[in-house]
Amino acid sequence: MVVDGRAPDPREARSTPEFIALLRLLKDVSGLTFRELSQRAEAVGDVLPRSTIANMLGRTSVPREELLAAFVRACGCGPAQVADWLAVRKELAVHGERAGTAQASGSAPEATAGHAPEPPTVPLSEPPTVPLSGTAPARRRRPRTVVAAAVALVVLAAAAVTVTLLLRNDDDRPESRRVTGPVAGRTVQIRSVHSGFCLSEKRDSDSGELYQVPCEQETIPRFSLGPLDGDAWRIVTDHPVHLKGCTGVWNGIRDAEAPLQDQECGKRGDAEEFLIEPVGRPVEGYRIRPAHTRLCVGAEGNSKERGAELVQTGCDRADRGNLFSFDPVAAATAGG
């Protein structure tokens, strides 16, 4: 929570970059995550998606009034503090601190390569589980010895099937699958060792944000890896609609929980460069670390659920939630 004496004073800002820097400081002082801020805003009737917060903190123009008010309220500011933030915002807007008339009213960020900002996040549902049916009863009586022998055979057969299923299930566990490292230029599916799901955009969204989905389905876009200077890599994308692009951290945000996003290359500097590091001996998986923060990529909340968003997160735990495999696939089946 922000308390008096700790929250930054927006009246110290003399320019838009200073104003945005104070907003970032306000979030840091609040100690709240993007998800928590969004939940706090929703609880009082404000609309504040996590991706909107990330976008606002990475912009070079002042945010819309309603967005700014919702954000500072969620950070714990009272009515007087909210009024101060809005007054400074208005003064910066009037004095032409922002670039371009298109952003003068605090409009939403520009769409790039057809990627529209701030899409609603719609969780994907799991398919229902259909129980296996039991065996049919015998239609007529048999001699006791024959029945006993038949029962013994059924028990042995059931035991064999159980062992087979256990072995098969053990082989099918996500952590049992072979882990493959990065190879330049090869089309891959990027699979989470933790969940067994693969990275993909949602087909009904132009946001470019990445989620984990079943690897068996057709994932989009196609991913490949391009080596950069030093040990860094670029995750290159080939989208069926938006064509060539790069994966990066939304607007170059440095905060944990900033979402990953596919977009045009060159928009986010070193926020679309990654270090890819093997973990374990033998290798259990590879960490993907954004070069601008040296944090890690992982499913939000270390989730193993289908539809979980991929975000920038801490590397303090060497668990499978931050480990990936770069599974080679045929280009024709890698994307739309």
Element of type H or E holding 37: helix 34-43
Confidence of residue 295 (pLDDT cuts 50, 70, 90): very high
d(CA 288, CA 298): 8
Q: Is the dihedral of CA 241, 217, 213, 324 positive or negative?
A: negative
Of the candidate ranges 91-100, 117-126, 224-233, 325-334, the one whose mean pLDDT is the lowest: 117-126
- Does residue 221 have a cis bond before it (omega within 30 degrees)? yes
Decide if pLDDT at 306 tops 80.
Answer: yes
The token duo for 129 is 């589980």
The token duo for 115 is 């990627």
To the nearest 10 degrees (0 to 180), the angle between helices 65-74 and 16-30 is 30
Extended strands (E) in the chain: 188-192, 197-200, 211-214, 222-227, 232-239, 243-249, 260-263, 274-279, 285-290, 296-299, 310-313, 324-328
Q: What is the mean pLDDT of the chain?
A: 76
pTM (two decimals)? 0.57
Decide if pLDDT at 118 tops 50.
Answer: no
Per-residue pLDDT tens over the stretch 28-73: 888 888 888 988 998 888 888 888 888 888 778 899 999 999 999 9
